[in-house]
Amino acid sequence: MELRQLGRTDLKVSSLCLGTMTFGEQNTQKEGYLQMDYALDQGINFFDTAELYAIPPKPETRGRTEEIIGNWMQARKSRDDVIIATKVTGRSGMNWFREDGSLTQVNRAQIMEAIDGSLKRLKTDYIDLYQIHWPDRTVSQFGANPVIFRHKEPAAEENAIGEILHVMQELVDAGKIRHLGLSNESTWGTMRFLQESEKGNGPRVVSIQNAYSLLNRTYEVNMAEMSMREDVGLLAYSALAQGFLTGKYLDGATPPGARKTLFKRQERYTTPGADAAIRGYLKVARDFNWDISQLCIAFATTRSFTTSTILGATNLDQLKADIAAHDMGIDEELEKAIDAVHFLHTNPCP
Q: Which residues are catalytic?
A: 53
Say whether 105 sits in a helix, a strand or coil. Answer: coil
How far is the first Cα of the chain from the last one, in angstroms, to the nearest whole number?
Answer: 30
Helix axes 108-122, 64-76, angle to 10 degrees: 40
Q: Let me know if 112 is exposed, middle or buried by CB neighbors in 10 A (0-12, 13-18, 19+).
A: middle
Distance between CA atoms of 232 and 209, rounded to whole angstroms? Answer: 10
Distance between CA atoms of 266 and 292, rounded to whole angstroms? Answer: 20
Q: Tell me the C-alpha to C-alpha distance, in Å, between residue 3 and each of 12, 83, 300, 326.
A: 5, 12, 15, 11
Say whether 196 sits in a helix, a strand or coil. Answer: helix
Distance between CA atoms of 295 and 287, rounded to whole angstroms? Answer: 12
Please write down the HEC assignment for all residues of 18-35. EECCCECCCECHHHHHHH
- String of DSSP letters for 242-263: TTGGGTTTGGG---TT-HHHHH
DSSP H or E stretch at residue 129 = strand 127-132
The DSSP secondary-structure symbol of 222 reads: T
